[in-house]
Structure 1
Amino acid sequence: MKIIKTTLPYQSLLNNSEKKYDYIDSFQGAINVIDNKFTSTDIGKAFFSSGPQWVSKLFSLRNKIVSVFGLKTSGENTNREKQLQNFKCEPGEQMGLFKVFAKNENEVILGEDDKHLNFRVSLFLGPQISGTTIKHTTVSTTVEFNNWFGRLYFIPVRPFHKLIVPTMLKGIIKEMEKKNGQHNVAK
């Protein structure tokens, strides 16, 4: 499965913002969408359910380190599976550190505002490519630094971020295509 670095989709809600971002990146992959059944809620749930174990361990380490500085953490969730089942991916909902800021039929915007920086993650399902069963799926991240500490914090985070996002996107695509197979079995 090929993941490529790309630009923020023109149709993204983050691209319609008046904000100037200090950092932006986007990664894109192709997903096979039989019967065009996927929704933005599907991609939002896949984001939270498809990450590899090493990403979870890195996030736990991050939480331990930043809690010393009074930054927001995802907290401990003893029943993440149940929380994910009840997660509707609606604006205002929170899943760990990620709050849902916006959602439409093609995109979910997740993120958080903290004293050092504000970040948003766009999970974007592009239109189906004509004559195929393929849609491009793009994960984009924007960051606004609120102070010098935000810039300092992001220096060690940036290289990990560039490894984590493509890995997460591969997991999202695999998770959604697995569900795609379930759609076909049900018919």
Structure 2
Amino acid sequence: MTEQAPCFHSLAFREIPTPDYADVCLAVLPEGASTDPAEWAERLFSLKSMPRWVAGALGLRQALVPLIGVPKAPKDTFKVSEQSGEEALIFVRDKHLDFAAAVGVDSVGRLIRVTTAVVLKGWRGKLYFSVVRPVHPIVVNSILKKATHSKPAPS
């Protein structure tokens, strides 16, 4: 039996080929919207364009994580680290986890996709992600919904 190559490719899985957690969230790309994945990644992960409750949750995260020895996220945590083809990658290596989010734009199928892959490191990563795991797809889908149903936030 020959080994079959994966049929789903993503920069997220190139960075984290064997994740402890992974998900893919999709939304319909609005008519006339940009098909630049880096532009979408910056828009999706900008605090200015996130739903208020998501921005509030991230603020709460910043206040609470030092209590378990996890550093606060720097302001540029969600900056695009690479773009290749139809995807832009945000990759963060930290002491408690590695996080990859690839934002892909399918201009033919008119879809935008956020692929997330996470590797947990030690008890801090497991504890931190035990809180994040149940809400992660809800957060990403909320961000996608707001971004695809509103005009771009001013830069």
1:138 to partner: Cα distance: 0.7
Q: Is residue 73–residue 97 contact of structure 1 (8 Å, CA) maintained in 2? A: no
Secondary structure of the structure 1 residue equivalent to 2:13: coil
Of 93, 99, 102, the match for 1:119: 99
Of 117, 128, 138, the match for 2:108: 128
RMSD: 2.3
Q: Distance in 2 between matches of 1:113 and 1:171?
A: 27
Relative to structure 1, is the Cα distance of residues 152 and 37 closer, same or farther in structure 2, using a 3 angstrom cutoff? closer
**Aligned residue type for 2:66:** S
Q: Which runs of 4+ in 1 moved over 4 A?
A: none
Secondary structure of the structure 1 residue equivalent to 2:70: coil
Secondary structure of the structure 1 residue equivalent to 2:41: helix
Q: Distance in 1 between matches of 2:10 and 2:68?
A: 33
Secondary structure of the structure 2 residue equivalent to 1:14: helix
Of 139, 142, 145, the match for 2:120: 145
1:20 to partner: Cα distance: 0.9
1:31 to partner: Cα distance: 1.1
1:151 to partner: Cα distance: 1.4
Give the equivalent residue in structure 1 for 2:144.
Answer: 169
Q: Distance in 1 between matches of 2:124 and 2:42?
A: 31
Please, what TM-score do these two structures have when normalized by structure 1? 0.67
Q: Is residue 124–residue 137 contact of structure 1 (8 Å, CA) maintained in 2? A: yes
Relative to structure 1, is the Cα distance of residues 121 and 50 closer, same or farther in structure 2, using a 3 angstrom cutoff? same
**Aligned residue type for 1:171:** K
Secondary structure of the structure 2 residue equivalent to 1:159: coil
**Aligned residue type for 2:59:** S
1:44 to partner: Cα distance: 1.9
1:160 to partner: Cα distance: 2.1
- Percent identity at matched positions? 26
Q: Is residue 100–residue 117 contact of structure 2 (8 Å, CA) maintained in 1? A: yes
Give the equivalent residue in structure 2 for 1:57.
Answer: 56
Kindly indicate whether residue 37 of structure 2 is the aligned counterpart of residue 40 of structure 1. Answer: yes
Of 76, 80, 83, the match for 1:96: 76
Relative to structure 1, is the Cα distance of residues 151 and 40 closer, same or farther in structure 2, using a 3 angstrom cutoff? same
**Aligned residue type for 1:40:** P
**Aligned residue type for 1:51:** M
Q: Distance in 1 between matches of 2:72 and 2:35?
A: 30
Question: Which one scores higher on RCO, CA 8 angstroms, separation ≥ 6?
Answer: 2
Please, what TM-score do these two structures have when normalized by structure 2? 0.80
- Which has more radius of gyration? 1
1:125 to partner: Cα distance: 0.4
Give the equivalent residue in structure 1 for 2:4.
Answer: none
Runs of 5+ consecutive residues of structure 2 not aligned to the other structure: 1-6
Runs of 5+ consecutive residues of structure 1 not aligned to the other structure: 1-8, 76-94, 130-134, 180-187
Equivalent residues, number? 144
1:99 to partner: Cα distance: 3.9
